[in-house]
Each structure stands twice: as structure tokens, then as C-alpha cells.
Homo-oligomer: A and B are copies of this chain.
Amino acid sequence: MHPDVGRRRVIIEGIQPAIDAGRFPIKRTIGEQVVVEADIFTDGHDLLSAVLCYRWTRDPVCTEVAMAPLGNDRWQGRFSVSQLGRYLYSIQTWVDHFATWYEALRKRVEVEQEVQVELLIGAELIEAASQRATGADVAELQERARRLRMPLESGSLAQARLVLEDETLRRLMALYPDRRFATTSPGEFAVVVDRDKARFSTWYEMFPRSCAAVPGQHGTFKACEARLPYLARMGFDVLYLPPIHPIGQVHRKGKNNATVATPDDPGSPWAIGSAAGGHTAIHPQLGTLDDFRSLIATAQEYGIEIALDIAFQCAPDHPYVQEHPEWFRWRPDGTVQYAENPPKKYEDIYPFDFDTAHWQALWEELKRVVCFWIEQGVRILRVDNPHTKPLCFWEWLIDEIKASHPEVIFLSEAFTRPKVQYQLAKRGFTQSYTYFAWRHTKEEITRYFTELTQTDVREYFRPHLWPNTPDILTEYLQHGGRPAFLIRLVLAATLGASYGIYGPAFELCEHRPRSEGSEEYLDSEKYELRYWDLEQRHSLQEFMARVNRIRHENPALQSNQSLHFHTVDNPELLCYSKSTADRSNVVLVVVNLSPYHVHSGWVELQLDTLGLDPIQPAQMHDELSDARYIWHGARHYVELHPQVVPAHIFRLRRRIRTEQDFEYYL
């Protein structure tokens, strides 16, 4: 055994946050804190010291901060992250013989025990520290050790009292601890630090080909530029475009997913690649690469970033199929295996065969695709169906990209089983689609968002909420009328720091399904051009602008960790709050989940969560209606009319003034 083994007596356990014992990093954005806790203890009664050590991976040295005991052998320390990229943290702890001695001395002095020998023991500890000290501290410590060895005439108790009051001694001893037998946590734990938009973003998905000013025309990037003021007015800061690449001709789908297309049908943008090019080419009808770069630049002027769709799959006429047959699975009849979910077949799509022996070349090529778009100025990537590619591929790809571009955001579009969805986030995706679209009842929403925001999941999985997508028109939206859209918008925008809508279908309350029981849109833009008349009276654009302004003005809504559900005695009414860490901004939301009926009930607030005094009244400012209420205590009556406004978004303004605030009161 190593000669130190038996003397490393301190245990470190239960480190949090730590995803799968540190196998995966946690996530933060710049300026956020990492609060680290661990069980730290040893045998016997000795006192311990512990430090949290952290560093930005590009820094060669660690910074140490003292950890403090929380009780029950739980310790805590914290640091803030200020650089993009990765941080590492670990814990070191040791038996603190001086602190043990000091505390014992204090107890002995309290009962006026004889402490002559204890002072000599203290002198030894101080002498030993002086040998670890540097500069003037050496002499300072030696002088103190010497003094402890010379009995005072007033006696050892009086001398001990002087020692206990010597703050310099404590400070110096803390500077030079004996760490020879310190215990260090196993390995270092990683933090991926992203920019703010990873945490707080407001997305708008739109088909560029449907942006033409004239019905029937194929939209272009130029036409998209004309749409930017409209999006900016509504408060969106990310414009996400479905794939912009050439669309395959072979097995192209027709309107409403017809198996056979007419010559006029534009095909699905997700059937990528044709003679015109593949994943690094642009669909000619949308414009040129210059047009695309111009769109990025103009969007930037409106505070909007362009998010690109990364769909790693090919149309049968994609150039890869000829150039790299080894990246596809070939069937015994000499054809390429198309996508399928038996018995369903998707013959317009060839998936890559990630089981190929040539997987390394395939990985490198897909990385080249991502790098190409980064070079064009794209910094946000929405990844299509990542759960149908190996999880280890994503970990590699995202790590590779973020090593040189830590500002890139990857959004995982994985509507798959929960463990796979979470795993993609663990492997590196910055944000993730959720099951939000299918969570409608109070029970469903409360349970799901408690899991997302109040468990370990929140350390690595950043939920992104979409009430609709080109693939998902929920029954709730199909049948709930305009109120259903209002309700789902408020929920998405306030439950999720990041949310997005697929427009203009959303703000125009498009609700016709392809068929009874289907969640597909009728006349879906996936298969045809659509012309949208944006200025219809029932459009939600004003409401969305207001909700998004509330999100921008209330930092509480820009993260999810503080989400707390409050009790309401009506199952159709949902109430929850979010607040900043210092409670300088507190938002309370009440939503009528029924798009059909007026509902009322009594909210039971958990006052301490809101930082509210049980006695003092407070002003609740409904930022949706601009109404102001004076609330007092925990129970409050609410009543919401879905046809008017189905929700309150209250900002806690302040306590109510009393006569004591009146100028002449004193």
C-alpha cells in the first residue's frame, strides 16, 4: 500500500451537480453560478477544511474557493462562469488539525480547564505551518509559536484567551494548511458554458419558399428579408429555416404527402440533394449563397439570428449516393435501403448507414457540412431527428465544433423515448425539443415541468417548447379555436425560457388537419408553397408581441430553475411562478387551461417561494391586461375568460404603501 493510503482519512461522496458520476458535463450560460455540494466527512471528531477548485480549461491553474458546511456533513461552494467553453471543477479536503485544536481550546477555556500542554501542542502546529509559509508570514508564525512556548505570568488560560482573539493567526494558519494527506474528488467535473441565447431564446420557424409577396410564387431569401420587420415587431430573436438545400427529384412527394408528385410540386425540403448539389448547396429557387449571407446580415440588424436545419439524410439523387456508395446500406437487389419504419416506407429518403466500416470518413464529411455553414455565419443549428444517428457521433461532432466555436447552439429535434431524448442532451445538445406539445392537463404539465426543472435533468437538458411544428398540429389546437392558441402560447412562453412557434400557421390559428385523427396539417407547407395573409383580424401577432415583450422585460422568465407550481382548487386553472435568484423580479402566471369555458377558483400561494410577507399586501400587475390587483395573504380568487384573455402574467410590483410611508408621518 502507498504510505499515504492509511492517512487519507477524509471521504468525499454524493457530489452534485454530477451527471452520471461526472461522465457528462453540466451546462451553464455566461454569468451563471455553479453551486457544488458534497458529503464530506471523516472518522472521529476532527474538523475538516474543504475547497472547491475550478478552472476554465484554457487556464493552466485552478482557482480555489472555500467550501462551507451546511450541516449533516453536507458542504457547499460556488463559482461563476465568465468564459465560453468548458470549466472543470473538483474538490479537495483534509483534516484540519489547527481548526480542531483551536475549537477544542475554545471549549476548554470556556470551562476554565488547565491548558498549558495544549498551548505547547498549538505551538507545534504553528511551527509546522511556518515551514510551509512564505515571505513575511514565516517570521509572523514563528514569533507566535515562540510566544506560545513562553508561559505568561497571568497563566495559561489568559494566554489561551489571547490566542483565541488572534485573528491574524487564524488567517495565516488558513493560508498554510497541511494538505499532505488531503483527499481529492475522483476526476474533474465539467461545465459547458454557452452564451445567453442557449438559455433564453424566442424562435420563429418559417418556410422561406412561402414568403413570396405574391401568391403562387416561390419565396426567396430576399423575400425572407422583407419578413424580418414583422418578426422583430413580434419579438422573435431566432428565425429557423427548414433545409435550404436542393430537393431530390427521385421519388419526390406530392401535395399532402402524395406518393407521386406532379412536375410542379416543390417536394419536401427534408429530401435533401439532387443534381444541383447536396448539404452544402442552396436550392436554386431560394437564391444564392450570397443571398443567404445577406439574409444573415440583415437579420442581425433586427436582432434576429438565422438557425439552420441539419438533416443528415439524402434524397436518392443526392450526389453522395454516387460518390460514396459505402455510406449507404445496399440491399441484395442492388438498390439502396430507403428509410422505413416497417411497414411504413419513405422511399424519397436514404438514411446514412452509420454501421458502415467507413464511418470515420462519413463522420468527417458531416462535420465538414457543419463547418461549411459556420463559415457562412450560421451559429444556431436545429438538428433533425438526431435520435436516428449514433449517440457517440453527436458527442464527437458537438465537441469538435465547440472546441473552436463554443458559441454554436445545437437544438435537438428528437421526438423519441425519454431516455434517448435526455441522452442526446447529455452528449452535448444545447437545447432540446420536449413533449410540451402533448402536455395539456394540469397534472401532465405539473409533473413534466417539475421533472424538467427540479431534478438533475435541469443540469444538462435545456427544454425548448413548441406548441406546434410543421409535423405537429395537436388535437387541442385543432378543436380549441383561437383561445387554444392563446393558451398554448402563454404556456410555452412562460414555462419555457426558450420556446418557438411554427408560423405564420400559428399566429393565423391554422387548425385544419389532413384527416380526422391526424396531427398533420392539411395542405402542409412541407409539400407545397403556401401564401399567408398576415394581416387578418384574428392574427395573434399583437398578443405574441406583448407576451414576448413581457419575456424580455422580466429576467425571471429567462430561465427555468425557479419554476414553482402553486395550488389552485380548480383542475382547469394552472398557477406557477418564476423568480430571479435575488427575487428582484418575480412573475406569477395563472392560466385557464380550458379553451371552452370561463373558470374561476382560489389560488393558494406558497408565499416564501415568492418572497412575500404573509401580512404585507403586494401589488400584482397583470402585464397582459395592464390591470393591477392588491393581494394580501396566500389565498386569492381568480377568474379567467378564454374568449377574452385566458391568463394572467403578474409581475410582483412592490409592497403597498401605508401611512408610514407618507411624508409627514414622522
**Which residues of the partner chain B approach A387 to less than 8 Å between Cβ atoms?**
43-44
Q: Are A419 and B41 in contact (CB under 8 A)?
A: yes
Q: Indicate if A653 sits at the interface (CB-CB under 8 A).
A: no
> Which residues 322-345 of A sit at the B interface, judged by CB distance below 8 A?
331-333, 335, 340-343
When the two chains form their complex, are residues A41 and B420 in contact, meaning their CB atoms are under 8 A apart?
A: yes
Least Cβ distance of A271 to chain B in Å?
A: 19
Distance A110 CA – B342 CA, assembled complex (angstroms): 10
Q: Which residues of B contact A43 (CB under 8 A)?
A: 354, 387-391, 420
Residues of chain B lying within 8 A (CB to CB) of residue A404 = none
In-complex Cβ contact of A419 among B13, B44, B355 (8 A): B13
Task: Answer whether A343 and B111 are a contact pair too, CB < 8 Å, given A1-B360, A72-B418, A332-B117.
Answer: yes
**Interface centre among A3, A9, A111, A342, by most B CB within 10 Å?**
A342
A164 contacts chain B at the CB level, 8 A cutoff: no
The 8 A CB mask of A622-649 against B (1 = contact, 0 = none) is: 0000000000000000000000000000
Q: Is A392 an interface residue (CB 8 A)?
A: yes
| Contact indicator A6/B392 (Cβ below 8 Å) | yes
Interface of A is mostly: mixed
Binary interface encoding of chain A residues 392-404 relative to chain B, with 1 for a CB under 8 A from any of its CBs, else 0: 1100000000000
Whether a CB of chain B sits under 8 angstroms from the CB of A359 is yes
Docked complex Cα distance between A57 and B448 (Å): 43
Residues of B near A95 (CB, < 8 A) are 355
Please, which residues of chain B bring their CB within 8 A of the CB of A388?
43-45
CB of A6 within 8 A of CB of B360, answer yes
| C-alpha spacing A658/B500, complex, angstroms | 65
| Minimum C-beta distance from A157 to chain B (A) | 13
A340: B residues at CB distance < 8 A:
104
Residues from chain B with a CB closer than 8 A to the CB of A343 are 107-108, 110-111, 113
A147 within 8 A of B: no
Shortest distance between the CB of A446 and any CB in chain B (Å): 20
| Number of copies of this chain that the complex holds | 2
For chain A, the count of residues having a C-beta within 8 Å of the partner chain is: 60
Please tell me if A11 contacts chain B, counting CB pairs below 8 Å: yes
Residues of chain B with a CB closer than 8 A to A108's CB? 342-343
A41-B417 CB under 8 A given contacts A343-B108, A392-B9: yes
Chain B CB within 8 A of A176 CB: no
Residues of A178-229 at the interface with B, using a CB-CB cut-off of 8 Å, are 181
A355 touches B392 (CB 8 A): no
Which residue of B is nearest A100, CB measured? B342
Q: How far is the CB of A75 from chain B (nearest CB, A)?
A: 11
CA distance A387 to B44 in the complex (A): 6
The complex places the Cα of A360 from the Cα of B72 at a distance, in Å, of 31
Instruction: Contact check, B423 vs A11: say whether CB atoms are below 8 A apart.
Output: yes
Complex Cα distance A415/B113, Å? 27
Chain B residues with Cβ under 8 A from A355's Cβ?
7, 9, 95, 181
Contacts of A3 in B (CB 8 A): 357, 360
* Interchain nearest-CB distance for A6 vs B (Å): 4
CB of A121 closer than 8 Å to a CB of B: yes
A224 to B120 CA separation, bound complex (whole angstroms): 49
Encoded as 1 (CB less than 8 Å from any B CB) or 0, chain A from 19 to 59 comes to 01100000000000000000101111100000000000000
Please tell me if A73 contacts chain B, counting CB pairs below 8 Å: yes
Q: CB of A258 within 8 A of chain B?
A: no
Cβ of B117 and Cβ of A11 under 8 Å apart?
Answer: no
Q: How far is the CA of A3 from the CA of B359 in the complex (A)?
A: 9
How many whole Å from A413's CB to the nearest CB in chain B?
14
Q: CA–CA, A103 to B340, complex, Å?
A: 13
What's the nearest-Cβ distance from chain B to residue A158, in Å?
A: 18
Least CB distance, A456 to chain B, in whole angstroms:
11
Q: Is A162 interfacial (CB-CB < 8 Å)?
A: no
Q: A120-B332, A332-B121, A360-B1 are in contact. Are A354 and B417 (CB under 8 A)?
A: no
The reply on A302 being an interface residue by CB < 8 A is no
| Separation of A111 and B363 alpha carbons in the complex (Å) | 36
- With the chains together, A335 CA to B108 CA distance in Å? 19
Q: A118 → chain B, closest Cβ, in Å?
A: 9
Residues of B within 8 A of A117 (CB): 331-333, 335
Whether A9 touches B390, Cβ cut-off 8 Å, given contacts A113-B343, A117-B331, A121-B332, is yes
Given A11-B391, A41-B419, check contact A6 B332 (CB 8 Å): no
A-B CB contact pairs (8 Å), 24 listed: A1-B360, A6-B360, A7-B390, A9-B391, A9-B392, A11-B423, A13-B20, A13-B423, A43-B388, A44-B389, A72-B417, A72-B418, A73-B420, A103-B342, A108-B342, A108-B343, A110-B343, A113-B343, A116-B333, A117-B332, A120-B332, A121-B331, A121-B332, A123-B332
Given A6-B354, A104-B342, 8 further pairs, Cβ under 8 A: A6-B363, A11-B391, A43-B388, A43-B391, A44-B387, A73-B419, A117-B331, A117-B333
- Counting from the closest, the 6 A-B pairs by CB-CB distance are A120-B332, A104-B342, A6-B359, A21-B21, A107-B342, A73-B419
